[in-house]
């Protein structure tokens, strides 16, 4: 791509007007390629956001001239921002021209490519069966390519749903792995809380016996130590949430990664910390509540 004294290497795609509807990709300025452009093979181009910023900066690119492989074109539109795809490719680093223009003015000069179509993008209506549509598309392409019944396909048929499922499976595996690591951490932390509470019960045996002697009931002793265990967990939960927020902001600042922390996630983490305190603090609290007051008062 060349505009004035600026140039930029990018991808050029010859498309039909329906392509933008299938991709659900509107423009932020100017217009899309029309049926008239396609029929007349006009030399017009629609730029992605990356190409527009590289060639024009803050200037308005509409109706500006550019050259694609030394062929003059006129910019008629700038596409809306798409961002990166799941594979990390910049979807906005692209230029769209009418398919007929691409065949006659650009790719037609390549031997064997005058009428070639590299990609056909299909969008199903809502409620249509994907498997049935895929089977019909394959049958139609084999018919158009005049392939014998016993021959293999000479084309690739890709369903984005399958790619999404593969990506989801990888994401689920990573989620399970992180959950396993978190479970081990919670188990170690819970055992630590239980050990601390058991030591506390042992050191305060005489205090427990004295409280029972002056009228404290077993459930009072149980509640006292259970509350202490929960407080230990909640303090750890608050510190963990603070470290998580700080780490998230640090990643966003230094690595330029977008992070999102929801209130639900914070509340869930806080509640889970309390649950760990109840689960691992119940045994020491129950042990303290079941002490014999006479033996507890005489404990050294």
Q: Tell me the per-residue pLDDT of 176-231, one tens digit each, with 9 for 90 and over.
A: 998 899 888 888 888 888 888 888 888 888 888 888 888 888 889 899 888 888 88
CA geometry: angle 99, 104, 110, nearest 5 deg: 105
20/130: higher pLDDT: 20
Please give the backbone phi and psi of residue 67, each rounded to the nearest 5 degrees, phi first: -120, 130
* Residues 285, 166 within the same domain: yes
pLDDT band at 112 (very low <50, low <70, confident <90, very high): low
pLDDT at 269: 82
Of 94, 123, 152, the residue that ends a domain is: 123
Q: Which domain holds residue 83?
A: 2-123
Same domain, residue pair 62 and 188? no
186 shares its domain with 292: yes
C-beta of residue 99 within 8 angstroms of C-beta of residue 68: no
Q: How many folded domains does the chain comprise?
A: 2
Whether 79 and 172 share a structural domain: no
pLDDT digits (tens, 9 = 90+) for 33-57: 999 999 999 999 999 999 999 999 8
- Are 101 and 171 within one domain? no
Domain identity same for 102 and 190: no
- pLDDT tens digits, 52-111: 999 998 899 999 999 998 899 999 999 999 888 766 788 999 999 999 998 888 876 555
Instruction: State the DSSP code for 115.
Output: S
Per-residue model confidence (pLDDT) at position 158: 84
The mean predicted confidence, pLDDT, of the chain is 87
pTM of the entire structure? 0.56
| DSSP assignment of 27-69 | EEEE----HHHHHHT--EEEE-HHHHHHHHTTS--TT-EEEET
pLDDT confidence of residue 237: 84
Note whether 173 and 96 are same-domain residues. Answer: no
Share of the chain above pLDDT 70, in %: 96
Q: Point out the domain boundary residue: 123, 150, 174.
A: 123
Give a yes or no: residue 58 inside a domain.
Answer: yes
Is there a single domain that holds both residue 112 and residue 226? Answer: no
| Gap between the Cα atoms of 50 and 277, Å rounded | 52
Has residue 287 been placed in a domain?
yes
pLDDT for 137-173, tens place per residue?
999 999 988 999 888 988 888 887 777 788 888 888 9
Residue finishing a domain among 59, 94, 123: 123
At residue 106, the pLDDT reads: 84
pLDDT of 154 reads 86
Judge if 118 and 244 occupy the same domain. no
Residue that has been written with the tokens 């299909």 in this structure: 122
Same domain, 32 and 112: yes
Position 143 in a domain: no
Q: Do 170 and 253 belong to one domain? A: yes
Cα separation, 277 vs 131, whole angstroms: 50
**Residue 95: what pLDDT?**
95
Note whether residue 136 is domain-resident.
no
pLDDT-above-90 percentage for the chain = 29
Task: Write the pLDDT tens digit of every residue in 4-28.
Answer: 889 999 999 999 999 999 888 999 9
Domain-embedded: residue 65:
yes
Q: Residue 191: which H helix or E strand, with range? A: helix 160-203
């Amino acid at each position: 791509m060349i505009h004035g004294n600026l140039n930029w290497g990018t991808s050029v795609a010859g498309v039909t007007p329906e392509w933008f509807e299938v991709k659900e990709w509107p423009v932020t300025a100017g217009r899309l390629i029309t049926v008239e452009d396609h029929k007349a093979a006009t030399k017009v181009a629609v730029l992605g956001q990356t190409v527009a910023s590289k060639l024009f900066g803050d200037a308005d690119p509409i109706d500006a001239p550019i050259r694609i492989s030394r062929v003059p074109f006129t910019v008629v539109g700038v596409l809306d921002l798409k961002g990166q795809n799941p594979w990390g490719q910049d979807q906005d680093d692209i230029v769209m021209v009418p398919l007929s223009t691409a065949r006659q003015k650009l790719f037609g000069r390549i031997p064997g490519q005058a009428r070639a179509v590299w990609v056909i993008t299909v969008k199903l209506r809502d409620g249509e069966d994907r498997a049935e549509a895929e089977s019909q598309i394959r049958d139609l392409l084999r018919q158009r390519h005049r392939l014998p019944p016993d021959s293999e396909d000479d084309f690739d048929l890709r369903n984005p749903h399958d790619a999404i499922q593969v990506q989801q499976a990888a994401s689920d595996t990573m989620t399970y792995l992180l959950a396993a690591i978190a479970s081990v951490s919670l188990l170690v932390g819970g055992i630590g809380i239980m050990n601390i509470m058991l030591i506390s019960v042992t050191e305060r045996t005489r205090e427990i016996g004295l409280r029972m002697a002056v009228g404290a009931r077993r459930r009072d002793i149980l509640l006292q130590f259970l509350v202490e265990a929960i407080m230990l967990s909640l303090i750890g939960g608050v510190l963990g949430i603070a470290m998580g927020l700080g780490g998230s902001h640090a990643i966003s600042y230094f690595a330029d990664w977008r992070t999102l922390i929801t209130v639900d996630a914070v509340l869930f983490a806080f509640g889970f910390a309390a649950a760990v305190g109840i689960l691992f603090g119940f045994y020491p609290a129950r042990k303290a509540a079941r002490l014999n007051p006479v033996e507890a008062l005489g404990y050294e």
